[in-house]
């Protein structure tokens, strides 16, 4: 047989062995063309949490799906109108007035601006001192909002008629699983920050190992000394109880009973039923740690912001800066500061040899004097400004969205944290050599000036920032990154989340920590030791008894 004939026969055989590319019915399976309807809900938190949530909703809309955005009547009007031309909006009637909500948020802003909650014991000290009166408590406000939503018969009727496929909501409010159960739909948690060990270890089933996973607000990295590991273990234990005190699930359990929303399943257990947890961030910056299949890191805003035009006066300010520009933005917290503290910041910026572009959505405290090198603006297309070659550094409060946008642009940072995940974000930045962190409670003009100057002039900060930018971009499998969030939302909507949900979320504390197993092993070992000791004792008594009898016979 010739070699050519052998080659032809082998090719024919190989073709016969290759499985056909079609379904078992003999028809080619078309791509999924079903269009889904999503309910998005974040208004109980609002603020910067809304943009992170709306980005994935806009991407789903671009793919032809329908998104309904749920708001409270107490939400700021700008939230209702922000994406009204994109989403269908539903507003429920709340007993919380916009004025009361504004008072609560203003009080929190003043508390945060003092820096009192930037330490481990800060929130507890603030609570003991009564810095947050009951009438201005966010917990009470969220409970009232949840009660009003579930009790708004007209709104709930309309939501049920929509027959949603999925609820996508912020993870900070215990009301979310109640709403999902009332509508009989699954839900996804959109977490506007990184995974918190104690919180998401309980709710999302994330593995917690205090030997290398640092707890929040401790200033620790993933490489700890012995004493730091002791501190971390104690912090893990403390925060498990702290989260229960903060959220007070029992009061939401009463709402489940009141509205007959699966009262047999508590709010805490209901929280663990989420189909997916999406955290804002990237392992370009986050400390390496194990995740579960239903927990993913995505970039909600970095690399996804639409191109917007920089105002002409701002563009000229940037283009004509001879030594560069420091971009300064502390969000809305500057408006809540004491005038003296805001003046310290202004005086520190005045000492810089570069221009300062100060973005603040809230007016500066009355009487603050600015230097000629500083320009204040109410709004900026931050992503576009960060990409400008004359911008040398971002000085911010360490919020996750602005931080990752700056890293995407390869921009080093100086941080002045106030609350939440901001302290942890800046700890990670310092560990990666991308920036420096300052303490808002002890800052002086000279310290602020010197720190910013060091970050601008020391090339290692810019080099490290560019390296992290390349890593972050390379980790993205979809462009823009928000498509990753949309992909995962659609995945669990199509197939459910049971195949991603770890069994650990159905285990109680004893089962999860193998306490029953260890007690059983200990009991078996104790029984074995007791049997062996009893046998030895019995043998010794027998031997001693015989020896005594023999001695008596000899006598």
Per-residue confidence in pLDDT tens, the chain, 555 aa: 454 444 444 444 444 344 444 443 344 444 567 899 999 997 666 667 888 888 999 999 999 999 999 999 998 877 767 788 889 999 999 999 988 888 888 888 888 888 888 888 777 666 655 566 666 678 888 899 999 999 999 999 999 999 999 999 988 888 999 999 999 999 999 998 899 998 898 889 899 899 999 999 999 999 999 999 999 999 998 888 888 777 889 999 999 999 999 999 999 999 999 999 999 999 999 999 999 999 999 998 899 877 788 999 999 999 999 999 999 998 776 777 889 999 999 999 999 999 999 999 888 888 999 999 999 999 899 999 999 999 999 999 999 999 999 999 999 999 999 988 999 999 999 999 999 999 999 999 999 999 999 999 999 999 999 999 999 999 998 889 999 999 999 999 999 999 999 999 898 889 988 999 999 999 999 999 999 999 998 888 888 766 655 555 555
Q: Are 222 and 319 contained in the same domain?
A: no
CB neighbour list of residue 159: distance below 8 Å, 6 or more residues apart? 39, 68, 70, 90, 183
Instruction: Report how far residue 75's alpha carbon sits from residue 547's, in angstroms, rounded to the nearest whole number.
Output: 92
Q: Are 291 and 345 contained in the same domain?
A: no
pLDDT of 7: 45
Domain that holds residue 321: 312-475
| Phi, psi dihedrals of residue 68, rounded to the nearest 5° | -110, 125
Q: Are 294 and 402 contained in the same domain?
A: no
Q: Are 246 and 340 contained in the same domain?
A: no
Beta bridge partners of residue 39, listed in sequence order: 68, 167
- Quick check: helix, strand or coil at residue 187? strand
Q: Are 270 and 349 contained in the same domain?
A: no
Q: Are 207 and 111 contained in the same domain?
A: yes
Instruction: Report how far residue 202's alpha carbon sits from residue 453's, in angstroms, rounded to the nearest whole number.
Output: 42
Percent of the chain topping pLDDT 70: 89
Residue 7 inside a domain? The answer is: no
Residue 106 inside a domain? The answer is: yes
CATH number of the domain residue 145 falls in: 3.40.50.2000
Residue 546 inside a domain? The answer is: no
Q: Are 213 and 68 contained in the same domain?
A: yes
Instruction: Report how far residue 545's alpha carbon sits from residue 508's, in angstroms, rounded to the nearest whole number.
Output: 53
Q: Are 471 and 502 contained in the same domain?
A: no
Tally of domains within the chain: 2
Q: Whole-model pTM above 0.95?
A: no
Q: Are 389 and 415 contained in the same domain?
A: yes
Q: Are 244 and 122 contained in the same domain?
A: yes
Instruction: Report how far residue 132's alpha carbon sits from residue 420's, in angstroms, rounded to the nearest whole number.
Output: 16
């Amino acid at each position: 047989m010739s070699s050519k004939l052998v080659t032809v026969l082998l090719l024919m055989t190989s073709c016969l062995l290759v499985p056909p590319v079609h379904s078992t019915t003999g028809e080619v399976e078309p791509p999924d063309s079903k269009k889904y309807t999503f309910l998005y809900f974040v208004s109980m938190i609002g603020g910067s949490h809304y943009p992170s949530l709306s980005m994935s909703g806009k991407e789903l809309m671009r793919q032809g799906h329908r998104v309904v955005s749920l708001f409270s009547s107490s939400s700021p009007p700008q939230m209702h109108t922000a994406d009204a031309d994109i989403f269908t909006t539903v507003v429920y009637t709340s007993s919380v007035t916009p004025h009361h909500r504004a008072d609560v948020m203003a009080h929190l802003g003043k508390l945060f601006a003092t820096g009192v909650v930037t330490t481990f014991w800060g929130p507890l000290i603030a609570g003991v001192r009564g810095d947050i009166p009951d009438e201005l408590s966010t917990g009470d406000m969220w409970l009232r909002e949840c009660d009003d939503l579930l009790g708004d018969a007209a709104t709930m009727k309309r939501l049920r008629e929509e027959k949603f496929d999925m609820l996508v909501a912020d993870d900070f409010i215990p009301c979310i699983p109640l709403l999902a159960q009332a509508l009989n739909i699954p839900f996804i948690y959109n977490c506007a920050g990184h995974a918190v060990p104690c919180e998401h270890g309980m709710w999302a089933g994330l593995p917690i190992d205090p030997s290398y996973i640092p707890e929040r607000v401790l200033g620790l990295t993933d490489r700890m000394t012995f004493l730091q590991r002791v501190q971390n273990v104690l912090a893990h234990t403390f925060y498990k109880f702290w989260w229960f005190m903060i959220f007070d699930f029992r009061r939401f359990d009463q709402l489940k009973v009141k509205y007959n929303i699966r009262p047999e399943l508590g709010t805490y257990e209901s929280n663990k039923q989420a189909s997916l947890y999406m955290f804002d961030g990237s392992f370009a910056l986050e400390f390496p740690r194990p995740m579960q299949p239903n927990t993913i890191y995505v970039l909600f805003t970095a690399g996804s912001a639409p191109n917007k035009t920089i105002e002409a006066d701002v563009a000229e300010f940037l283009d004509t800066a001879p030594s560069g520009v420091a971009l300064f933005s502390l969000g809305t917290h500057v408006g809540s500061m004491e005038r003296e503290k805001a003046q310290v910041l202004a005086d520190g910026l005045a000492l810089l040899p570069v221009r300062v572009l100060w973005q603040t959505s809230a007016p500066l405290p009355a009487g603050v004097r600015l230097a000629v090198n500083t320009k204040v603006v109410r709004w900026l297309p931050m992503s576009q400004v960060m990409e400008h070659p004359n911008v040398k550094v971002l000085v911010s409060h360490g919020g996750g969205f602005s931080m990752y946008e700056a890293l995407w642009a390869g921009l080093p940072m100086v941080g002045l944290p106030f609350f939440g995940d901001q302290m942890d974000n800046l700890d990670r930045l310092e560990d990666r050599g991308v920036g420096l962190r300052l303490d808002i409670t002890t800052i002086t003009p000279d310290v602020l000036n010197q720190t910013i100057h060091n970050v601008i002039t020391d090339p290692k900060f810019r080099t490290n920032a560019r390296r992290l930018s390349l890593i972050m971009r390379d980790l993205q499998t979809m462009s823009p990154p928000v498509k990753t969030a949309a992909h995962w939302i659609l995945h669990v909507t199509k197939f459910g989340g049971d195949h991603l949900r770890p069994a650990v979320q159905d285990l109680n504390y004893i089962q999860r920590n193998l306490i029953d197993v260890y007690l059983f092993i200990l009991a078996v070992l104790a029984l074995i030791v007791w049997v062996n000791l009893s046998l030895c004792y019995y043998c010794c008594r027998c031997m001693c008894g015989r020896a005594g009898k023999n001695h008596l016979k000899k006598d």
